[in-house]
Amino acid sequence: MTDIRKVAVIGAGVMGAGIAAHVANAGVPVVLLDILPKEGDNRNAIAEGAIERMLKADPAPFMNRAAAKLVTPGNTEDHLDLLKDCDWIVEAVIERLDIKQALYQKIDKLRKKGSVVSSNTSTIPLADLTRGLGEGFARDFLITHFFNPPRYMRLLEIVQGDKTAPAAVDAIAAFADHKLGKSVVMCKDSPGFIANRLGVFWLQAAVVEAFAAGLDVEEADAIIGRPMGIPKTGVFGLLDLVGLDLMPHVNASMAASLPKDDPFHALNKPLPLIERLIRDGYTGRKGKGGFYRLNREMGKRKEALDLVSGQYRAQRKAEVDAIADSGRSLARLLSHDSKHGRYAWQVMGPTLAYAAARAGEVTDNIADIDEAMRLGYNWKFGPFELIDQLGSQWFADRLAREGMAVPAILKLAAGRPFYRIDKGERQVMGLDGNYHTIRRPDGVLMLEDIKRRSEPLLKNGSAAVWDIGDGVVCFEFTSKMNSLDSDTMALFMKAIALVKKSYKAMVVYNEGNHFSAGANLGLAAFAANIAAWGEIENLVGGGQSTYMALRYAPFPVVSAPSGMALGGGCEILLASDAVQAHAETYTGLVEVGVGLIPGWGGCKEMLHRWATLGNLPKGPMPAVAKAFEIISVATVAKSAAEAKDYLFMRPSDGITMNRYRLLADAKAKALDLARDYKPPEPPTFNLPGPSGRVALDMAVQGFHRQGKATDYDLVVLGELAEVLSGGDTDVLTTMTEADVLELERTRFMNLVHNEGSLDRITHMLETGKPLRN
Amino acid sequence: MANYKAPLRDMRFALYELNAGDELATLPGYEDFTRDLIDPVLDEAAKICEEVLHPLNRSGDEEGCHWDNGVVRTPKGFKDAYTLFREGGWTSIACDPAYGGQGMPKAVNVLMEEMICSANLSFGMYPGLSHGAYVALHGYGSDALKAAYLPKMVDGTWSGTMCLTEPHCGTDLGLLRSKAVPNGDGSYKISGTKIFISAGEHDLTENIIHLVLAKLPDAPKGVKGISLFLVPKFLPRDDGTPGERNGVTCASIEHKMGIKASATCVLNFDEARGWLVGEPHKGMRAMFAMMNTERLSVGVQGLGLAEASYQGAVAYARERLQGRSLSGTKYPDKPADPLLVHPDIRRMLLTQRALVEGSRALSVWAATALDRSKHHPDARERERAEDFIAVITPVVKALLTDFGFDVTNLGVQVFGGHGYIREHGMEQYVRDARIAQIYEGTNGIQALDLVGRKMPAHAGRYLRQLFHPISAYIEKTIDKDGMTEFVEPLAKVFGRLQQATAQVARTGMARPDEAGAAATDYLRLMGFTVLAYLWARMAEVSLPRLEKDDPDGFYKAKVMTARFFMERLLPQATAHFQAVMAGGKTMMAFEDAAF
């Protein structure tokens, strides 16, 4: 199998540049080429401009600035020879067969033997792309269809031709899996592959039916959204996001390539209102607005487009009784006797039927259809999982009753579900009508599977402990949003005793969207509102002693975060022996945003890390200043790589690109550390005391004068400065961890007594945004 | 029949000494309301209540209201009393000066309301309901409606009603059936039947202005589809005099347990002409706007009756000679000792007194918050006051009306058989008090409002304005000379309240039935805690006056009553605490069929 050590991407548009950036994120050098610009002297202007834009973009295509240095920009006139030593060449140029084929001709002459060429096309069949090119090219050619944005969308659709060599497919699939962190779905060479084939149908159905039913866009998005596990942007919100102008193009190319009897044609009618919007520049969020917009002339009024009149009006909350009336039952929603219930069916009935009818056409594996919709459109459940929620018999009967064709796979199911659990194994129905166990790729360990097969070793309302084999336990947060409370701490203490007695190591890991957004603020705010100060002090002190117990336990503790690890969720990383983080981990000590300071050892650990690992000038002040700089503005590292820049992670901590491989990597790391494990030596601190505090205060006052710090920031940052400078100490006094923790605790308590902090917490709980009081 | 003397000394204590009544005049709009102005007003209010209203209380109860073919007559003397009341300016006292009102602070008004309720609750219903309608119209009516109706409602020539309840829906207004159809000229045709309408029809005023909840043709389901309409009994002419009779008729009046002189009407609206108050479908908003003041007023009804009953019981316990003291004869020159010497009689009287004075302190506290919420110049202070009102309103309404019933019952008990017969008027207080536990949101609903809406809102933010002052007060006062005996029990019950609050919030979030099961006991626990706080403060204010500044023994009695409350009444809070902590499993598990 070819080892991919260098990559080239041709075409520096949004997709090509994003793919190149993501290859760089994996630490692999990449060449990014585009054509010569129409004007100007810089012949590399297009590729260089793309890199510059990406460095400013949010969400960022690069995981940190260092990654950008791995991208070499160039142009297709001067630099094609750079392809010579590339193992994989990705073509992401304009969707025109003649241009692509001409490019392939050139590439084929230069590329090294055994290198793989792939196209990021989303519309052109592979058979057409390779027509007329040599056997050798066809053997090394495949389609790699990324989703936008390539860093964040975890789906990669791969299409191979009849002639493609298995080794070429394996090499790219393995690279995409391990290095790019993608979930690879193998598709047949059919139009739109899987996700877009279904997604475009679904969007079109939802738009057409909303017009037909005269619904508000808010109503449509409320229905075709949360109740189905579809992101709350729903349909119209999603179109605003991707751009309305894309819709006619995608629909036209889909219509051109689909067979004449495909049900999509019936839906693909012109929508004059949308055409007008595009003409007038209302292309969505990137344009003057779309179905929703923020009207700045009317004091930032949120507006929505009336689908009947075509005029904007104030956005209104959708009142959909059908949702409340159905509880959580999708079947009840789809049969609700109201215009909303009928709309739900008119969209989802045909969409799910269309998906079911594609089994065998787009892939033989229906689990891959579900995976493609989950990862390509962020649906929580794939279409077959949704049909299982409805009941396959219920769905088949309903289709028959509505006079719609019942897809073959539904007839085959004959009332059975598409998925079932058999002896702890998840199985999926094949095209043969039998159930087949879903096998994870080698080296993938999922807690979800372990939980299906076993009982927890320990468990309470906020956490659970699982045996994940080889003497390692997994500590899982199970509370709402994985927030941390006194129950979490209590179970940690029990787990420590258990591992001490019978196991080798502990991994802190879970499979929620976010590792943990920190302490349960609602609980803390409520306790503060009822003046239960003792309870809050116990929560802070209890958390501190728990994290200290983890740090000095006689076995290694490895934290394996993915998604957000903020506040108390970040402090647990700081208290661990090592971290194995998913690349998409967002870490930060964000307490000041809610008027608090890190109270579970976060201040202490940042002081210690910057003093020992920071490569800072000598003296007590630099580490204090650095920790203050990071915590005082609630800095969030927007990738695991960036977390290392802030020392939220140590240089020696590991990063896993593929979410599915995180637990296995963390477990391996824990076992590695368990050999000859010795707990760390407790650090000591020599802090500057009042002189340091003065320096920090002056800086804060400067920010206040410039309007960058609010009045209440002065209070919060004053307490933070007091902790980080060591309180009433001087540089000759050696402080222990306990001393710094006590400072954290008392200063935290000062703040929690303050109405300003409670206002910030309440505001965050209710709006999700920080209050700048 | 028992006499009534307005408890002006204790009222001034509650207003000035406990709740900083003098600071009212520092609020914008209240500059005139200094002690020089307030004191004479209170004296005058006492006079009309004692001399005009109270003498009609029992006769009104005996006679009741008369219904004859849609016309309702109030009992003898009511019409003259109302004329005096109106001419004395008492209907306008708490109203907006822009419409002819006197703009009196709520903290003062609440004391006058108490006097009226002590003197004659049935009579008080007429101006009371009118004021409720005034508040809703003032808050939400269009300028044209306000200009046309408010001046006459303020000066009392017209009165008002609130028409909510229908035969099939009381608490659950979402089930409302009354309809409003647009006439096309900005007015509406209102049709439907309303019941339990206090002051719905009577002979005291020349016109009656009904505020009616009804649904427009395109109304959304449930409470989100209710609109508020103004429907006058007589359509005013252009010159403002009552003109054509509108399509609203009184079909009958109810025969009730108490407040018999208050006409409780069934009203039929038959395509009556009405006008929208506020926005379509937003009628509940206007209801909520008046709810806080109305619920405080109903709480004060309980207080007023309790005060009247206490006065009767004390007078009787002094006069009535029965038996000898257990510790030996106290009045050897008399054939027997007065009831007052007996421990159980003293228990009942002190229970009445401690609950009445505690309730008064609470009602004035809540009323000053209402004043701050409207008049304080700092928006933040207004918000704090509103938060406090949100929490304290259901407590005031439920606690004070429950006490009203309990205390008037004790009054009957002190009288023995003479309390049970009608002659002394003691049983009337019990009957009159009973309704206050029911209307304006039953006390069960108040408890649900507290645990279900007020407690969880904004992560407990409303609670802060109650819990923080008490917590800070305990911390500040616990070691103060002479205060330990009062603050220690307060600290204990406050700790229990915190514990119960955390438990109800936690279990209630996951299982709403748990919050519902805890609600009434929780409200009581909070009520007792609040009273303990107020009694500790009353003791704190009184203690320094004991030696040198207490010629009539007022402060000594205060301190002793505070002590009695802490020793003998506050322990009830523990029982409520334990009931809350026991949870609702058993009652919810009880089989429906087994009831």
3-state DSSP assignment of residue B494: helix
Give the Cα separation of A397 and B509 in Å (integer).
39
With CB atoms and an 8 Å threshold, state whether B459 touches A531.
no
Which range, of A573-582, B269-278, B490-499, B541-550, averages the lowest pLDDT?
B541-550
Kindly identify which residue of chain A lies nearest to residue B459, measuring between CA atoms.
A526
CB contact under 8 A, A321 and B221: yes
Cα B218 from Cα B133, distance rounded (Å): 26
A522-527 long-range contacts, CB within 8 A, separation 24+: A522/A483, A522/A765, A522/B459, A523/A483, A523/A485, A524/A752, A524/A761, A525/A758, A525/A761, A525/A762, A525/A765, A525/B459, A525/B460, A526/B459, A526/B460, A526/B502, A526/B505, A527/B502
Do A532 and B502 count as a contact with CB atoms less than 8 A apart?
A: yes
CA distance B12 to chain A (A): 31
CA A261 vs CA A255, A257, A355, A362, A573: distances in Å? 11, 12, 15, 16, 56
pLDDT at residue B195 greater than cutoff 90: yes
A522 CB neighbours in chain B (<8 A) are 459
Is the omega angle on the peptide bond into residue A149 within 30 degrees of 0, that is, cis?
yes
Q: Do B467 and A527 touch (CB under 8 A)?
A: no
Residue B468's closest chain A neighbor by CA?
A: A531
Asked whether residue A34 falls in the same domain as residue A108, the answer is yes
Q: Which two tokens stand for residue B246?
A: 């509108």
A33 plus A142 within the same structural domain: yes
Give the length of chain A: 773
Q: Return the residue of B nearest to A522 by Cα.
A: B459
Answer whether B460 sits within 8 Å of A319, measured CB to CB.
Answer: no
Are B431 and B437 within 8 A, CB to CB? no
**Spatial CA neighbour of A426 closest among A345, A370, A491, A351:** A370
CB pair distance less than 8 Å for A530 and B458: no
A584 and A612 assigned to the same domain: no
Alpha carbon distance B283, B449 (integer Å)? 19
Using CB atoms, pick whichever of B220, B224, B463 lies closest to residue A529.
Answer: B463
- The Cα A665–Cα A444 span in angstroms is 9
The rounded percent of chain B whose pLDDT value lies above 70 is 100
DSSP E strands, A11-80: 30-34, 71-75
Closest chain A CA to residue B455: A526
Nearest-neighbour CA in chain B from A215: distance (Å): 16
Q: What is the mean pLDDT of chain B?
A: 96
Contact yes or no for B461 and A319 at CB 8 A = no
Query: Do B496 and B573 contact (CB within 8 A), yes or no?
Result: yes
The answer to whether the beta carbons of residues B374 and B25 sit under 8 Å apart is no
Does the residue A595 lie in any domain?
yes
* A612 and A653 inside one domain: no
Q: How far apart are CA A165 and CA A673, in angstroms?
A: 41
DSSP H/E element including A761: helix A755-767
pLDDT tens profile B384-407: 999 999 999 999 999 999 999 999
CATH number at residue A558: 3.90.226.10
Confidence of residue B198 (pLDDT cuts 50, 70, 90): very high
Q: Are residues A353 and A486 in the same domain?
A: no
What token pair was written down for B7? Answer: 């408890």
User: What's the one-letter identity of residue B250?
Assistant: C
Are B464 and A529 an interchain contact pair (Cβ–Cβ within 8 Å)?
yes
Which of A429, A452, A478 finishes a domain?
A429
Contact yes or no for A531 and B460 at CB 8 A: no
- Check if the beta carbon of residue B179 is closer than 8 Å to that of residue B214: yes
Query: In this complex, which of B459, B467, B470 lies closest to A525 when CB atoms are compared?
Result: B459
pLDDT band at B291 (very low <50, low <70, confident <90, very high): confident
A246 and A317 in a single domain? The answer is yes
CA of B469 vs chain A CAs: smallest distance (Å): 9
Interface test with B, best of A339, A481, A529 (most B CBs within 10 A): A529
Looking at the structure, tell me whether residues A579 and A594 fall in a common domain: no
What's the pLDDT at A362? 96
Q: Say if A385 falls within a structural domain.
A: yes
Of B220, B221, B498, the CB nearest to A531: B498
ipTM, two decimals: 0.92
Residue among A526, A532, A535 minimizing CB distance to B459: A526
CB contact, 8 Å: B218 with chain A? no
B567 annotated active-site: no
The answer to whether the CB atoms of B470 and A531 lie below 8 A apart is: yes
Is A151 part of a structural domain of the chain? Answer: yes
Question: In terms of domains, do A17 and A79 share one?
Answer: yes
Q: The tokens 């002040």 sit on which residue? A: A621
pLDDT band at B364 (very low <50, low <70, confident <90, very high): very high
**How buried is B325 (Cβ within 10 angstroms: 0-12 exposed, 13-18 middle, 19+ buried)?**
middle
Domain span at residue A277 reads 195-429
A437 within domain boundaries: no
CA nearest A529: which of B519, B373, B383, B502? B502
Q: Are A530 and B461 an interchain contact pair (Cβ–Cβ within 8 Å)?
A: no
Secondary structure class of A464 (helix, strand, coil): strand
Residue B319 CA to residue B132 CA, distance in Å, equals 41
Whether residues A728 and A690 fall in one domain: yes
Tell which B residues from 450 to 489 touch A, by Cβ distance under 8 Å. 458-461, 463-464, 467-468, 470-471
Contact A683, A612 (CB under 8 A): yes
A453 in any annotated domain:
no
The reply to whether residue B467 touches residue A530, judged by beta carbons under 8 angstroms, is: yes
Residues in chain A whose beta carbon is closer than 8 A to a beta carbon of chain B?
319, 321, 521-522, 525-533, 535, 755, 758, 761-762, 765-766
Considering only alpha carbons, which residue of chain B is nearest residue A529?
A: B464
Q: What tokens were used for B575?
A: 């029982």
Taking the C-alpha atoms of residue B304 and residue B317, their distance in angstroms, rounded to an integer, is: 20
User: Is A452 inside a domain boundary?
Assistant: no
**Residue A448 forms part of a structural domain:** no
B460 to A765: CB separation less than 8 angstroms, yes or no: no
The active-site residue, picked from B440, B485, B567, B591, is B440
Distances in Å between the alpha carbon of A335 and those of A322, A323, A342?
9, 11, 7
B459, B464, B470 member nearest A522 (Cβ): B459
pLDDT of residue A92: 96
pLDDT at B288: 81
**Shared domain check, A534 and A582:** yes
Token pair of A189 as six digits: 């060479």
Structure tokens at B551: 């010629």
Beta carbons within 8 Å of A527's beta carbon, 6+ residues apart: A535, A536, A539, B502
Is position A454 within any domain?
no
Q: For B207-305, list the strands marked E by DSSP.
A: 207-214, 227-232, 234-236, 242-245, 248-253, 264-277
Q: What is the pLDDT of residue B491?
A: 98
What number of C-beta contacts closer than 8 Å exist between A and B? 47
Over the stretch B502-526, which tens digit does the pLDDT of each residue have?
Answer: 999 999 888 999 999 999 999 999 9
Q: Cα separation of A273 and B71, whole Å?
A: 62
A578 plus A601 within the same structural domain: no
Identify whether residues A650 and A750 lie together within a single domain. Answer: no
Query: Contacts of residue B459 in chain A, CB cutoff 8 Å?
Result: 521-522, 525-526, 529, 761-762, 765-766
Please name the member of B221, B458, B498 whose beta carbon is closest to the beta carbon of A532: B498
Tally the residues of chain B.
Answer: 595
Q: Nearest-CA residue of chain B relative to A761?
A: B459
Q: What is the DSSP code (8-state) at residue A165?
A: -
Cβ-proximal residues to A689 (8 Å cutoff; 6+ apart), any chain: A725, A726, A727, A728, A729, A730, A731, A733
The total number of structural domains in chain A stands at 4
Contacts of A535 in chain B (CB under 8 A): 502
> With contacts defined as CB-CB under 8 Å, which chain A residues touch B450?
none
- Residue A726, by phi and psi: left (phi above 0), alpha (psi -120 to 50) or beta? left
C-alpha span between B478 and B256 (Å, rounded): 49
Torsion of CA A163, A165, A170, A171, to 10 degrees: -120
Write the CATH number for A71.
3.40.50.720
Half-sphere exposure of A469 (CA within 13 A, CB side): 13
By Cβ distance, the residue of B224, B460, B470 closest to A529 is: B460
Pairing of strands A458-459, A463-467: antiparallel
Alpha helices for A26-96 (secondary structure H): 45-56, 65-68
Residues of chain A neighbouring B498 (CB-CB closer than 8 A): 530-532
**What average pLDDT values come out for chain A (773 residues) when binned by 10 residues?**
89 96 97 94 95 94 95 96 96 94 95 95 91 92 96 97 95 97 96 95 96 94 95 94 90 92 93 92 90 88 92 91 90 95 97 97 96 96 97 97 96 96 94 95 94 96 97 97 95 98 98 96 94 95 97 98 97 98 98 97 98 94 97 96 97 97 98 96 96 96 94 97 97 96 97 95 93 93
Whole-number pLDDT of residue A319: 86
